[in-house]
Structure 1
Amino acid sequence: MKLSAFAKIAAIGGIAALTLTSCAANEGGSASGSDDSAATSSLSGELVGAGASSQGSAQEVWVAGFQTANPDVTVNYEPSGSGAGRETFQQGASAFAGSDRAFKAEEISAGPFDGCATGDIVEFPAYISPIAVIFNVEGVDSLKLDAPTVAKIFSGAITSWNDPAIADQNPDVELPEGNITAVHRSDDSGTTGNFTEYLAAAAADDWTAGSIETWPTEFGGEGAQGTSGVVSAVKNGSGTIGYADASQAGDLGTVDIKVGEDYVPYSPEAAAAIVDASSLEEGRTEGDLAITLDRTSTEDGVYPIVLVSYLIGCAEYEDAANAELVKSYFSYIVSEEGQSAAQESAGNAPISEDLRGQVQTAIDSIS
């Protein structure tokens, strides 16, 4: 099943509890911000979530908007990382999780999900963003690299910035002789999973570790905790290179990735294009909208290192109060208002109307 045209969209981290409180809107979770809507909201209680730090900026905005619409609700989201978020959710310590990958089918089968009344879960894309390859080399703002070269840099096979594999693709760039310090996530990370999935698909001969969320120690490099940790290590180092959600790239140098015969810079539109060229995984339940990304696509304008970050909840909750709050919060997040708010704050690509319809159907099935 093909997803609809994201390309038509013209637009477009440490561990901490993100808790914001405000006032105003309706029971369905729509955050209009009006006094009238505030008076109609009957939702109350505390909603706890944890997971992907890549969603951190977006979650701040979503929490604020939802609590403005529902002043008697407190939402706590801890950006502890995708792996920690999935574990917390499975243990029933949080009502929902954010994750930079969907649960694998075998993980769902193995379970258990302690806060759920059944073994089924609901998960769907809520935050779509390119993963930028960021670097800090004095005097260099942009580089062009193909997948094998990126793989060799992060596996330790290329150690100098003026290596011919880099220089040949950047003949107009004056590259230093200095050593490369490759920075990776030290924590179990969905961002790492997405990044290594790209390397495994597009540079299999040079990246032998496969698609993994825990960085292989044999490849060395410098580890840093969370998205913010990687960005900080690259920014404060010299001759450093790393990977992070593109919204956090700031003024660091970035890499244009070779796709077919062209080099494509990251952008929300290019990230949307790779999702548009991909399909939903087969063999999943109707509420489990996991995407199989085509990392080797050569279509024009596609940026293949993309993060599709999911929201995950129970198909049926042991606690009915959690079901009501999760349904309302998820509905606000995927609404046009919620997606537009995140776009403005975090620079992600809003989900398409067609995908929104599929996602809302999955959310509505939560009980």
Structure 2
Amino acid sequence: MKIKRHGALISLMAAGALALTACGSDQNTPQSGGNAGAPAPTNTAPVDCGGKKSLVAEGSSAQKGAMEVFTQAYGAKCAGQQLAYTSSGSGNGIKQFNGGIADIGGSDSPLKEGDETTKAQERCKGNPAWNLPLVFGPVAVAYKLEGATDVTLTPDVLAKIFSGAIKTWDDAAITAANGGKALPAKPIVVIYRGDESGTTDNFQQYLGAAAASSWTKGAGKKFNGGVGQGAQGSPGVADAIAAADGTIGYVEWSFAQDKKLSMAKLDSGSGGVALTGETAANAIKEAKVKGSGNDLQLDLKALYASKTANSYPLVLATYEIVCSKGYDADTAKAVKAFLTVAATDAQAGLADAGYSPLPQEFQDKLLTAIKAIA
């Protein structure tokens, strides 16, 4: 998975989020590249192996590479134990978890209050499900526009592009965002995730927070803009953007890098900011944990609306969704063992897979939650 180029970012972002709180898809992922390097966690924990021999997990593509590392470490630590992960998208991950098919659901956004949480509680035999974030990563606004290699967009302009109010690259609002420099007079082709996706949910939440007056379409895992062409999964979005001139879409940074796509700078009020590890890490400091107890879901609204200089606020978190209680005894034992290995022993292998180890304080919070699963 070619996300090593921002491996250090994940650790910095998670560390920033947790420090301030004191104590969210498809079958393919890019190939590995270089790693910026992050220190391995020092925390370890005893693992009570056993229980269900073959766990089932499904969901977000953003965590697919990490899940492969976790599964390998789990098998090595607990002989004969396995986990099968299907990267089918966040929406499917939640559906399969709530339907009792997946033991663990993977999503780029936490369970939504209402139908999702109600079904999750029913699945967990009347007990709440917990959202446990394991990976943080930025979302690129990627584009292909011959004759333009440096594009700056404001949240207001983005909202109007993705709702169809701005239709051409030489629109006056885009020209103004680029300091009076007109871009080529070509039609804008919006590319969006055709499948239900936490990436879409986060992107629409960002537009709603940063451009509330221009984005009235709401959020959710289904794209609500009413314009453009849908593509399946992150690879499909990246491929569609790369295939045609005039395209623009939202996709995880790793996929934009893998396809060598141009990425727009975001101007939230302090000038255009390019997506880098440093600028995304600067932005994540605005995030806060809003979940109670061992439910560690994040409130990213303040981050998305931030106007902090030299920060890139469009980021998402990937969650593992699990039952706090309600598994049968064998499944609960195996889920706890897998997550414990993932949060400890497996961390040493994340750098080579393109991720960074969890920061110590967040690892501690995860272990507390994992131990409480019954």
Which TM-score tier does this pair reach, normalised by the shorter chain?
0.7 to 0.9
Are 2:174 and 2:182, in contact at CA under 8 Å, matched by a contact in 1? Answer: no
* 4+ residue runs over 4 A deviation: 26-29, 40-44, 112-115, 171-174
3-state SS, counterpart of residue 234 of structure 2: helix
Are 1:122 and 1:366, in contact at CA under 8 Å, matched by a contact in 2? Answer: no
Percent of aligned pairs with the same amino acid: 31
Give 1:276 deviation, angstroms: 2.7
RCO higher in structure (CA 8 A, sep ≥6): 2
User: Is the aligned partner of 1:271 residue 2:280?
Assistant: yes
**Among 311, 315, 328, which residue is 2:337 paired with?**
328
Are 1:185 and 1:226, in contact at CA under 8 Å, matched by a contact in 2? Answer: yes
Match of residue 122 from structure 1: 130
Counterparts of residues 108-119 of structure 1 (less than 5 Å): 110-113=118-121, 115-119=123-127
Match of residue 155 from structure 1: 163
* TM-score normalised to structure 2 length: 0.81
Give 1:356 deviation, angstroms: 2.0
Higher mean C-alpha deviation, range 286-295 or range 173-182: 173-182
3-state SS, counterpart of residue 217 of structure 2: coil
Are 2:52 and 2:331, in contact at CA under 8 Å, matched by a contact in 1? Answer: no
Distance (Å, rounded) in 2 between the aligned partners of 1:72 and 1:212 = 39
* TM-score normalised to structure 1 length: 0.82
Mark the runs of 5 or more structure 1 residues left unpaired by the alignment.
Answer: 17-25, 30-39
User: Is the aligned partner of 1:5 residue 2:1?
Assistant: no
Give 1:105 deviation, angstroms: 3.5
User: Is the aligned partner of 1:103 residue 2:111?
Assistant: yes
Mark the runs of 5 or more structure 2 residues left unpaired by the alignment.
Answer: 1-13, 20-24, 29-43
Distance (Å, rounded) in 2 between the aligned partners of 1:175 and 1:211 = 29
**Can you list the C-alpha shifts for 1:84-124, whole angstroms capped at 9, x where unaligned?**
11111011101001111111333465235455344222221
Number of aligned residue pairs: 338
**Among 199, 216, 224, which residue is 2:231 paired with?**
224
Give 1:285 deviation, angstroms: 4.1
Distance (Å, rounded) in 2 between the aligned partners of 1:76 and 1:111 = 23
3-state SS, counterpart of residue 109 of structure 2: coil
**Can you list the C-alpha shifts for 1:258-293, whole angstroms capped at 9, x where unaligned?**
133132222344334433322221xx4412111111
Counterparts of residues 203-222 of structure 1 (less than 5 Å): 203-216=211-224, 219-222=226-229
Match of residue 313 from structure 1: 322
**Among 58, 68, 79, which residue is 1:60 paired with?**
68
Match of residue 133 from structure 1: 141
Are 1:27 and 1:328, in contact at CA under 8 Å, matched by a contact in 2? Answer: no
Q: What letter matches 1:125 in structure 2?
A: P
3-state SS, counterpart of residue 160 of structure 2: helix
Give 1:186 deviation, angstroms: 1.0
Distance (Å, rounded) in 2 between the aligned partners of 1:279 and 1:201 = 15
3-state SS, counterpart of residue 53 of structure 1: coil
Match of residue 240 from structure 2: 233
1:109/1:150 CA distance change after superposition, 3 Å: closer
Distance (Å, rounded) in 1 between the aligned partners of 2:46 and 2:180 = 55
3-state SS, counterpart of residue 105 of structure 1: coil
